[in-house]
């Protein structure tokens, strides 16, 4: 189990938000923390700590007037620490190589490969042709609907009909190097992990997968390690001291090792 660092950028600033509160209209979100430091500061800090394989997420849609400010932050962080982090948010086959060239180790994609609530295989093929399967992370962030977990797109606002199951993971693993899974119902709330999601990921465990959502204590991290059978990496945002929370980064890393 590895700790994967994160940098979330919204309206041109590094932030931690409540995932379920994000709205494209007026670029709204409930904020847990707004950083005074920029994305480059965090990328360099992670590099100095020996952390890698984390993600930078652009939380504004491409259509937003604030998207360019958000993209600038992300690109500067990638340029400063090439190969250190993955990047996601508005990625398509047309712009994926631009982000790889800027320094991203991988591109993280959701909405482009889930169109009209379904898997778009044509777009998956275009994406892997553009940068190679080994540079693709599929974001399978999900929400609970009547006890089942369905993948959500467009900054967790649109529900698809694709259920998070071992069969889905088997199918999509043919097109990517890793998975990133936000449990969107608990994202940013620090009230505990979504145990069922962690269980699905831990039981499967065939390629690297990172879980995000709800971890607010060291016990939550230990629980994820146990339920995920040590196969599921973790990323934490709002609960960390560096983002206004109470958890020391070194303590989290210690538990993961």
CATH code of 158's domain: 3.20.20.70
Task: Give the C-alpha distances (Å, rounded to integers) separating 187 from 90, 139, 190, 193, 222.
Answer: 20, 14, 8, 9, 18
pLDDT at 18 > cutoff 90: no
For the chain, how many structural domains are there in total?
Answer: 1
Residue 41 resides in a domain: yes
pTM, two decimals, is 0.93
What are the DSSP E strand ranges found in the chain? 6-10, 13-17, 31-34, 54-58, 85-88, 107-109, 114-115, 118-119, 136-139, 142-145, 148-153, 158-163, 178-182, 209-212, 232-235
pLDDT at 50 > cutoff 60: yes
pLDDT grade, residue 19 (50/70/90)? low
Q: Label residue 190 left, alpha or beta by phi (over 0 means left) and psi (-120 to 50 means alpha).
A: left
pLDDT at 29: 67
Closest CA to 11 of 61, 53, 54: 61
What mean pLDDT is predicted for residues 214-225? 95
Ranking 17-31, 54-68, 126-140 by mean pLDDT, the lowest is 17-31
Ranking 19-28, 98-107, 123-132 by mean pLDDT, the lowest is 19-28
Give me the chain's average pLDDT, please.
93
Ranking 24-28, 39-43, 49-53, 92-96 by mean pLDDT, the lowest is 24-28
Task: Give the C-alpha distances (Å, rounded to integers) separating 190 from 86, 123, 183, 249.
Answer: 24, 35, 12, 15
pLDDT at 28: 59
| CA end-to-end distance (rounded Å), the chain | 6
What mean pLDDT is predicted for residues 215-237? 96
pLDDT grade, residue 189 (50/70/90)? confident
Taken in order 1, 45, 187, 148, is the CA torsion positive or negative? negative
Residue 1 resides in a domain: no
On the CB side of 235, CA atoms within 13 Å amount to 29
Quote the domain boundaries for residue 132.
6-256
pLDDT at 116: 86
pLDDT at 20 > cutoff 60: no
Residue 62 resides in a domain: yes
């Amino acid at each position: 189990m590895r700790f994967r660092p994160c940098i979330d950028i919204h309206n041109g600033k590094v932030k931690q938000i409540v995932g379920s509160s994000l709205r494209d209209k007026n670029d709204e979100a409930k904020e847990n923390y707004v950083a005074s430091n920029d994305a480059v500061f965090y990328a360099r800090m992670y590099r100095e700590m020996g952390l890698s394989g984390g993600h930078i997420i652009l939380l504004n849609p491409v259509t937003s007037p604030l998207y360019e400010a958000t993209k600038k932050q992300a690109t500067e962080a990638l340029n400063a620490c090439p190969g250190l982090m993955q990047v996601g948010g508005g990625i398509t086959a047309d712009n994926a190589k631009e982000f790889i060239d800027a320094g991203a180790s991988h591109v993280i994609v959701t909405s482009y490969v889930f169109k009209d609530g379904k898997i778009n295989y044509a777009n998956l093929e275009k994406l892997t042709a553009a940068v190679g399967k080994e540079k693709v992370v599929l974001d399978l962030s999900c929400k609970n609907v009547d006890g089942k977990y369905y993948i959500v797109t467009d900054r967790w606002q649109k529900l698809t009909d694709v259920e998070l199951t071992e069969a889905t993971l088997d199918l999509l693993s043919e097109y990517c190097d890793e998975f990133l899974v936000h449990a969107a119902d608990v994202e940013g709330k620090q009230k505990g992990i979504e145990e069922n999601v962690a269980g699905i990921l831990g039981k499967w465990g065939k390629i690297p997968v990172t879980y995000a959502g709800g971890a607010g204590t060291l016990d939550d991290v230990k629980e994820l390690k146990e339920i995920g059978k040590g196969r599921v990496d973790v990323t934490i945002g709002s609960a960390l001291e560096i983002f206004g929370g109470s958890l020391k980064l070194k303590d989290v890393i210690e538990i993961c090792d």
